[in-house]
Structure 1
Amino acid sequence: MKQFIAFVKKEFYHIFRDRRTMLILLGMPVVQIILFGFAITTEVRNVRMGVLDPSNDEITRKIIDRLDASEYFNVTSLYHTPKEVEKAFGKGDIDMAIVFTDRFTDRLYTGEACVQLIADATDPNMATTQTNYASGVIAAAGKELLPPGINTAGLTPDIKLLYNPQMKSAYNFVPGVMGLILMLICAMMTSISIVREKETGTMEVLLVSPMKPLFIILAKAVPYFVLSFVNLITILLLSVFVLNVPIAGSLFWLVVVSLLFIFVSLALGLLFSSITRTQVAAMLASGLVLLMPTMILSGMIFPIESMPLFLQWISDIIPARWYIQAIRKLMIEGVSVVFVVKEIGILSLMAVVLITISFKKFKHRLA
């Protein structure tokens, strides 16, 4: 019994002395409970709504005020033509639009009034939830605003779903899976491969060769770049021919943005390899910094707008967020590359910053 207790004590000592193990045991649950508790939610919050109201009468204004006053919707823009609404969806300025017929109040009494809700269905589950919430607010407002005996059929919204009218879930998860796979293949595997060389002592052998350290690191990163490109082609082929998800936009710009994201992911892998000394540490860093935030905070599964403000700030520095956002626009919505300039600019900036820091720290560590 004494030997058993001695071994138990010894194991405790090993765990307490290993900071990485302590971080996994104590730090990981804290991170998970915070992320899952705040980010994973099916509630609708802060939906950006545009309004097309040619009548601009008392009832339509009160309905718009009710929507804006609710915790679910923020009326951000007023439009005058359907083309303006279409352009706003293309730019990503709004998530939903409400459209009233002209002379809405007068036509309510004749039964000719109509209200339409237009939602971005690239995320079909969220689009359904948003339209259901808005329909409930409109119906409740109609009961309060209209006198008894008036037909409220004109306040039953006509639902229009953009980009994904069939409500196929594949339209939503394919861009997210692309971002997750490319990130993990490039960043995680690259960092582990280089750290393995450092851990076994063979990296020093490579560094004394005539080749410069910069080219040694690039030579180790190139295979993962090629494999990631193969993965990209495979995902696109499966998406089109198996999942029936069409590439509505430019295939050329889709590939260009994907290659840029692969470069950003490789730079992240080099950064992890420069700040870690063991494969366990590299796996831990990759899991904490890449896997969970990419799945939860990138907009892959859950809408960023529904998260608390501090988690939205964190999502801004996650490369996968901007890549998934750009791919949804190019692949699903089929918009011009002009509408993804912001995402391309942010990814380019991340690539420059990460690759600069990575190479400087790497040469400093292995000089």
Structure 2
Amino acid sequence: MKQFLVFIKKEFAHVLRDRKTLLILFGMPVVQILIFGFALTNEVKNSRIVVMDQANDAASKEIITKIGASRYFDIVRTVMSHQQMEDAFKRGDIRMAVIFPAGFNNDLLHQNAAQIQVIADASDPNNATTLTSYVGSIIQDYQAQLSKTSKVPYRIQPEIRMLYNPQLKGAPNFVPGVMALVLMLVCVMMTAVSIVKEKETGTMEILLVSPFRPILVIISKAIPYLLLSLINVASILLLSVFVLDLPVNGNILLLFAESTLFIITCLTVGIFISVKTNSQQVAMLISLMGMLLPTILFSGFMFPIENMPVPLQWFSNIIPAKWYYIIVKDIMIKGLGFNAIWKETLILSGITVALLIVSLKSFKIRLS
């Protein structure tokens, strides 16, 4: 029994001396609880909307006040033309628009009925449905408030219009997300494991004494996965068009060009992981856990980013899948051109260049 206790004491000493083990034991649960607690929610909050008040009367102002007081909405503009509103929807600056027609209060008092137009961006159908439901609840609450002070029944009818996806299909939301997820996992994991495998088997030294420069070694590893990933993109698009009945509304060549850029970005992430690790198991673990969870949580694919705390919203900006997800939705669903996605393209390019420079420097240091 004494020997058994000695062994237990020894194991405790090993664990307490190993900072990495302590970090995994105590740090990972805390981080996961915080991230999952804030990120994993289907509730829609702080959604940017615009209000066009063409009536500018007491009834419209009171409803606008109720909408603004709700934690679900963030009114970014109260005066906007139809063209400005359309451009804001295309840029993704707003999720919804609420329009009060001229004479809203007059119609309500004299005809006992009035209409409010609600326009939502339905490229994310779940989000659009939730937002219109919230607005409908606020309108019903105001309608019930009027009914208490008058014997005449008042009826306010929201006229709902869904942009880009009037049938509220799920495909326009999950196809871009699946594209980002598949390309990220395949490119990162395959590239990282491929280069680390050369280290483990000892063939990297043979490559180093060859006339090839380090950058050529890296490029030669990345090109096959680039071509195979483009085939993946083509297969996903074919399935989307012919099986899911989801046409590509924008320029198909632009979509392939942006997909190529994203694939290159993912390949550079895989290269970066490979030069920082020495075993295939570690490279695969980092590729899966380090890419899978951030892509799911912080790309906007499954959970609205605006729901998260500001630090997590800032963190989402370094996730390449977030920008590619926006690009695919803008081209494929909204039918927009390069003018609408130049910022996202520039960010992906910057991430790619930065990772490639760091990887090449690390590669030279480790293998010189």
Judge same fold: TM > 0.5, yes or no.
yes
- Residue 336 of structure 1, CA deviation: 2.4
Equivalent runs, 1:129-144 vs 2, <5 Å: 129-144=130-145
Residue 324 of structure 2 corresponds to which residue in structure 1? 323
Distance in 2 between residues matched to 1:245 and 1:259, nearest whole Å: 21
Residue 244 of structure 2 corresponds to which residue in structure 1? 243
Distance in 1 between residues matched to 2:337 and 2:227, nearest whole Å: 27
The yes-or-no answer on 1:122 pairing with 2:128 is no
The yes-or-no answer on 1:72 pairing with 2:72 is yes
- Residue 145 of structure 1, CA deviation: 5.2
Q: Is the 8 A contact 2:47 2:74 kept in 1?
A: yes
Compared CA separation, residues 219 and 84, structure 1 to 2 (3 A): same
Residue 152 of structure 1 corresponds to which residue in structure 2? 154
Residue 268 of structure 2 corresponds to which residue in structure 1? 267
Structure 1 stretches of 4+ moved >4 Å? 1-28
Give the TM-score normalised by the residue count of structure 2. Answer: 0.92
Q: Is the 8 A contact 2:272 2:358 kept in 1?
A: yes
Distance in 2 between residues matched to 1:138 and 1:332, nearest whole Å: 30
Report the number of matched residues: 366
Distance in 1 between residues matched to 2:195 and 2:48, nearest whole Å: 44
Compared CA separation, residues 80 and 33, structure 1 to 2 (3 A): closer
Residue 61 of structure 1 corresponds to which residue in structure 2? 61
Residue type of the alignment partner of 1:45: K
- Residue 304 of structure 1, CA deviation: 0.5
Distance in 2 between residues matched to 1:261 and 1:7, nearest whole Å: 51
Residue 188 of structure 1 corresponds to which residue in structure 2? 189
Q: Is the 8 A contact 1:90 1:339 kept in 2?
A: yes
Residue type of the alignment partner of 2:37: G
Gaps of 5+ in 1: none
SS at match of 1:263: helix
Q: Is the 8 A contact 2:114 2:157 kept in 1?
A: no
Q: Is the 8 A contact 2:183 2:263 kept in 1?
A: yes
Residue 226 of structure 1 corresponds to which residue in structure 2? 227
Compared CA separation, residues 296 and 49, structure 1 to 2 (3 A): same
Residue 95 of structure 1 corresponds to which residue in structure 2? 95
Compared CA separation, residues 340 and 149, structure 1 to 2 (3 A): farther
SS at match of 1:76: strand
Superposed CA deviations along residues 176-235 of structure 1, whole A, max 9, x for unmatched, are: 000011111111210111111112222112111121121111101111111111111111
Identify the range of structure 1 (263-272 vs 275-284) with the bigger mean alpha-carbon deviation.
Answer: 275-284
The yes-or-no answer on 1:342 pairing with 2:346 is no
Residue 310 of structure 1 corresponds to which residue in structure 2? 311
Residue type of the alignment partner of 2:150: P
Distance in 1 between residues matched to 2:14 and 2:283, nearest whole Å: 20
Superposed CA deviations along residues 276-321 of structure 1, whole A, max 9, x for unmatched, are: 1112221232234211010111111011011111111111110100
- Identity over aligned pairs, percent: 49
- Residue 244 of structure 1, CA deviation: 1.1
SS at match of 2:114: coil
Compared CA separation, residues 23 and 276, structure 1 to 2 (3 A): farther
- Residue 75 of structure 1, CA deviation: 0.7
Residue type of the alignment partner of 1:148: S
SS at match of 1:157: strand
Distance in 2 between residues matched to 1:233 and 1:252, nearest whole Å: 11
Gaps of 5+ in 2: none
- Residue 144 of structure 1, CA deviation: 3.0
SS at match of 2:187: helix
